[in-house]
Structure 1
Amino acid sequence: MEEFSAFSGRGNAAPVGTPLPNAIQKWPLLSNKLAQPQSATSIFAIALLAHVLLWTLLPSLLLRNASLDIIEALAWGHEWQLGYEKDPPLWPWVTEALSVWPGKNLWACYLAAQVCIGTVFVSVWQLGCRIASRREALLGALLLEGIYYFNFPTPEFNDIVLQMPFAALFGWLLHRALTDNRLRDWCLAGFVAGLGLWARYSMGAYLIPMAIFVLVHPVARRRLAEAGPWVLVATALLTFLPHMAWIVDSGFISIEYVARRAPEATNGLHYVAKLSSFIGAQLAALIPMLLLALMLWRWKNPNPPSPSDSRDFDRAYLAALAFGPIVFSVILSAMTQRPPRVMWAAPLLCYVGLFIATSIRPVLTAQRLRTFGRAWIAVLLLPALLFTLEQVARPLVTGKENRSHFPGRSLAAEVTDRWHAETGTPMKYVIGDTWYAGNAAFYSDDRPSALFVHGGYRFNPWVTPEQLKKEGAVLVWDAASEGADIPPIIAEQFPGAALQPAVSVRGPASVHQVGIAFLLPTETAMPEDGERLATSL
């Protein structure tokens, strides 16, 4: 194991055993580790643990209600389909599984999100140890903390967060496969690639650029004459095959959604403006990392290592891995004239920090380590502080609420109680938009299925008109914005519903008015109502 004396690099590094100033001993644990002659592995483990614990505890303690993405995933995952209107099924499956045993508490989802981010850190560290020193591997992993996408938004466990570990693992495993040429590494890389596509289709933004790299780079291209790359392709295709069959069987509804989310620009000027906004947002997301990198640049090693074939290959591979996905995405956007959405870039930046660290190769003395340690801790804690203020102070100061402040439990309890009083049967279905129907479905003790009105039965194949006729359903909507009467989009699809008094549920800063109506089951409906319902469905 490389000791921290080696991690300190050239220059005025403190030798092993040198007494440290008393002030250093008063620092938090990470700063102490940075200043002591400990291994880079220990420092990495402490930093990783600090991140995972901090970003698991904060949402577990502060968030009162599930986010929109988690609510949507819970509604889908409850049905255990091979695919859904917007996404492959892995994210809904994982979310549903994590919500079963803790009940309505979502700390397991918040922990899973940080396990995903932690896996990115581990993958970057592992690849860094293969192609550079442990010093540079550590710095490459620590720089990730300065990217917005790896901290503040991660409690909203979604398909983007779930794709990140597969993208990072693929980058590490593919390098192992190309350099060591072991069949197990090719199989693992293919399996991870396939799982990444089960998480999110944008995994292709890694697969295609790295496939181009293998075709273009002469060292990597030699592997095409051997079995390994084809084993990777076959494994990935076999892993993804069930969902591919679902895509065709569903009429490509999830592919249509991607097109709707990135609509074609109306003209060239509109596209350039949207793309510029996208690029500007990515630069803004990188600002803390770039500030840390600027600090390292001041300590750049003036004596770079001598070139070698293996180092040249590693350098080219890391450049393709760090920038290939984002460049590919921009090129694809330009070809289709569809501006990318800002958050779509989140999984594409996993290896930028490692590229920077291996490019700068800073000389780190004990004093410089202490300075970098302070800066890194600030980068870790500042987003956490902002997150805390957002959740705690926003309703009190601005009078406005986030979705995490929504009283979903109160809504579900009231709707469920009313349904039981009216029918004496469990609530099997809730119909409405994603937010209101999803909250009522998840937080209800009956845990009914949710049917989202924007897609009808095509987007909700787990329910049929015959089932609704037999079991009945609750219709919910935002009465404050859509009015007290049943909204036309609901009334047209589900005629015959009986309007009920609106539900009032109080949040920390406002009272939410939620409209409800009942589609009564045929067993409890009046004869004329049952005849109307049967005819309409």
Structure 2
Amino acid sequence: MVLLWALPPVFFYQSPPWDNVEELFWAQRFQLGYYKHPPLPTWIMGVLVRLAGPQPWITYLAGVACGAGALYLLWRWARECLPPQRAVLAVVLASLAAYHLQRTTIFNHNTVQLLPLAGYWWMLWRAFCRPDARTRDWVGLGVFAGLALLTKYSAVVQFAVAGLLLMQDGRWREARIWRGLALAAAVGLAVASPHLWWALTHSDQALSYAAASVQGHGHRHHRVLQLRQQLGMQVGRLLPMLVVVALAWLLRPRGQGRAAASDAGSGSGSGSGSGSGSGSASLPSSTRLTQGGGGAVSAIDRRFLAFAGFGPLVLVLAGLTLTGTKAHGHWFTTFFLALPLWLAAVVPGLEAERWSRRRWQGLLGAAAIFHVAGSLGTAWAEGRGVERHGHITRGSLPSAQVAERIDAIWQAHVPDRPLPMVVGDTWFAGAAVLHLNPSVQLWIDGEDRTSPWIAPGAWARDGGMVVVLDTRPFQSEGPLLEARLAETDCRGSFTLPWSGRPGSRDVVVRWGVRLPAEQARQPRDCQ
């Protein structure tokens, strides 16, 4: 499965996605934090870069591996809270959500966070819902929570949902819960403390970026419009999974819905009839998982799955609507991990333990077709496939040809030494630099804070090139790029075909060469 999704971009993409390029360059240097995000994904990429070099394929492989790892943890969790057949069904459904495999070729902090948050919800369920919860479950909860926070600060949304569940369920009154939470918090803080210390001492970087990302703005009408747009986007990215669920519900045997409701009632009764004040948690685990003829899921588990499956989405959409914060689709990447388990637990028609062999074959066959067609089709449509239609995408940028032109321009002006540095935006300039000599450094946006690997004074001493992409909608927008371009000694421009169709959109680049300090700097016409 990992290779199925990771290999097509290697063959069809001419340039990696923005986030993949960014991580490859951040990975040059291990830090306790980076100017936009916590460090864990960059640490992972740093290890891989040192093993294989700054190659785009390692970003695809690492991203899909994180998604597959999250599915594995979901399967481990589903085996404990669902009947075996429904556990398999839940993982198949989860694999059909675009966030969990299809979009994991984009290696970013949201993708990596899938893995620790899947473990977080699994350990949280163990700690909250199992009567035999052990110390190691609370420790595991703390470890996964700390790793999630080391990945992206948005983990606090999932922590807030857990707090709401605790208050709604009334479990906050139990002493064992408080003891466990204290242990988990201590472990989580220990895991994340080096970065948290860094964040407090560099508050103008990651924390400032996070605060700027959630600033409220916009008229009430725009807030409602954004809510509708985001809901529509999420439905689209969950559509294959939702189609399977809808078909299973529509094609369920007559009377199966009533039987499922009866089973659910049996599970609910078993969860509330113990008289212990803690619901079905007082029942032995084996009893709780087999109430209602071996198919029902207990009330406490269904309630937990509902909070985990819908809570992050509802909480964030409510916050966006109230504050007017502009949302981005990738913010929702980790919000649907538990949703397939909830669907398998409560939706009529998904009682997989009652399915015939023919229905299982149909589901698995459809899932296999989706994954094969999806992996090839997505990479083809984003990469070389668009050339036939005159469209341009990030994946179709001819970055190798751009790199050749950049190197030729430098050699024409400074033939006695290799190009030391390229100044430009993260994606366009970075994608080109990946095709140049590994010694060439990227000065992201010409800002010191974005590229701590650039030695002070290197730009003035060694020189380099500035490249600015003017092709919309992918134009370079670094605030200092124009100023850096003005510092160069020689300026010009070039164009290259972006799409294979004649007369289609071109790569339009403005460039500037800054000569090394020991060479005379005399502006000249370089057109």
Counterpart for residue 514 of structure 1: 509
TM-score scaled to structure 2, two decimals? 0.81
CA offsets per residue over residues 46-69 of structure 1, 9 Å max, x none?
A: xxxxx3232122222322322211
Counterpart for residue 114 of structure 1: 64
Contact 1:437–1:451 under 8 Å retained in 2: no
Measured in 2, the distance between the counterparts of 1:221 and 1:110 equals: 46
Aligned: 1:304 with 2:299:
no
Counterpart for residue 343 of structure 2: 356
Counterpart for residue 292 of structure 2: none
Q: For residue 80 of structure 1, give the secondary structure of its aligned residue in structure 2.
A: coil
Q: For residue 443 of structure 1, give the secondary structure of its aligned residue in structure 2.
A: coil
CA offsets per residue over residues 23-80 of structure 1, 9 Å max, x none?
A: xxxxxxxxxxxxxxxxxxxxxxxxxxxx323212222232232221111222222233
Describe the shift of the 1:446–1:59 C-alpha distance in structure 2 as closer, same or farther (beyond 3 A). closer
Contact 1:219–1:313 under 8 Å retained in 2: no
Matched to 1:111, the amino acid is L
Aligned: 1:210 with 2:162:
yes
Aligned: 1:77 with 2:27:
yes
Contact 1:247–1:254 under 8 Å retained in 2: yes
Please, which of 210, 228, 233 is the counterpart of residue 180 of structure 2?
228
Q: For residue 104 of structure 2, give the secondary structure of its aligned residue in structure 1.
A: coil
Measured in 2, the distance between the counterparts of 1:270 and 1:410 equals: 42
Please, which of 445, 450, 455 is the counterpart of residue 453 of structure 1?
445
Q: For residue 227 of structure 1, give the secondary structure of its aligned residue in structure 2.
A: helix
1:491, distance to aligned residue in structure 2 (A): 4.5
Please, which of 136, 155, 158 is the counterpart of residue 108 of structure 2?
158
Counterpart for residue 368 of structure 1: 359
Q: For residue 477 of structure 1, give the secondary structure of its aligned residue in structure 2.
A: strand
Measured in 1, the distance between the counterparts of 2:62 and 2:339 equals: 23
Matched to 2:206, the amino acid is S
Describe the shift of the 1:94–1:411 C-alpha distance in structure 2 as closer, same or farther (beyond 3 A). farther
CA offsets per residue over residues 103-124 of structure 1, 9 Å max, x none?
A: 4543322221221111221122
CA offsets per residue over residues 318-358 of structure 1, 9 Å max, x none?
A: 12211111122123223423142222112100111110001
Please, which of 247, 269, 294 is the counterpart of residue 221 of structure 2?
269
Describe the shift of the 1:266–1:139 C-alpha distance in structure 2 as closer, same or farther (beyond 3 A). same
Counterpart for residue 237 of structure 1: 189
1:494, distance to aligned residue in structure 2 (A): 6.4
Describe the shift of the 1:447–1:223 C-alpha distance in structure 2 as closer, same or farther (beyond 3 A). farther
1:412, distance to aligned residue in structure 2 (A): 2.9
CA RMSD across the alignment? 3.0
1:382, distance to aligned residue in structure 2 (A): 4.1
CA offsets per residue over residues 412-459 of structure 1, 9 Å max, x none?
A: 3443455466164454432122223212333321343322227x3343
Matched to 2:141, the amino acid is A
What is the percentage of aligned positions where both structures have the same residue?
24
Contact 2:425–2:478 under 8 Å retained in 1: no
Please, which of 323, 327, 338 is the counterpart of residue 310 of structure 2?
323
Describe the shift of the 1:241–1:364 C-alpha distance in structure 2 as closer, same or farther (beyond 3 A). same
Aligned: 1:250 with 2:250:
no
Measured in 1, the distance between the counterparts of 2:436 and 2:48 equals: 17
Contact 1:292–1:375 under 8 Å retained in 2: no
Please, which of 101, 120, 128 is the counterpart of residue 170 of structure 1?
120
1:143, distance to aligned residue in structure 2 (A): 0.7
Measured in 2, the distance between the counterparts of 1:172 and 1:446 equals: 42
Contact 2:485–2:511 under 8 Å retained in 1: no
Contact 2:127–2:137 under 8 Å retained in 1: yes
Matched to 1:66, the amino acid is P
CA offsets per residue over residues 473-524 of structure 1, 9 Å max, x none?
A: 3211125679xxx9994353565411244455555526534332222332x2
For 1:124-135, what aligned pairs fall within 5 Å after superposition? Answer: 124-135=74-85
- Where in structure 2 are there 5+ consecutive unaligned residues? 271-279, 282-297
Please, which of 285, 288, 292 is the counterpart of residue 240 of structure 2?
288
For 1:180-195, what aligned pairs fall within 5 Å after superposition? Answer: 180-195=132-147
Greater CA deviation, 250-259 or 400-409? Answer: 250-259
CA offsets per residue over residues 205-235 of structure 1, 9 Å max, x none?
A: 2112113323442346525565321111111
Contact 1:295–1:372 under 8 Å retained in 2: no
Measured in 1, the distance between the counterparts of 2:306 and 2:136 equals: 25
Counterpart for residue 434 of structure 2: 442
Measured in 2, the distance between the counterparts of 1:79 and 1:426 equals: 22
Q: Size of the alignment, in residue pairs? A: 474
Describe the shift of the 1:340–1:388 C-alpha distance in structure 2 as closer, same or farther (beyond 3 A). closer
Matched to 2:263, the amino acid is P
Contact 2:444–2:451 under 8 Å retained in 1: yes
CA offsets per residue over residues 268-314 of structure 1, 9 Å max, x none?
A: 11111111211121122222211211233243461415222142222
Measured in 2, the distance between the counterparts of 1:490 and 1:389 equals: 32
Measured in 1, the distance between the counterparts of 2:306 and 2:3 equals: 31
1:393, distance to aligned residue in structure 2 (A): 6.1
Q: For residue 83 of structure 1, give the secondary structure of its aligned residue in structure 2.
A: coil
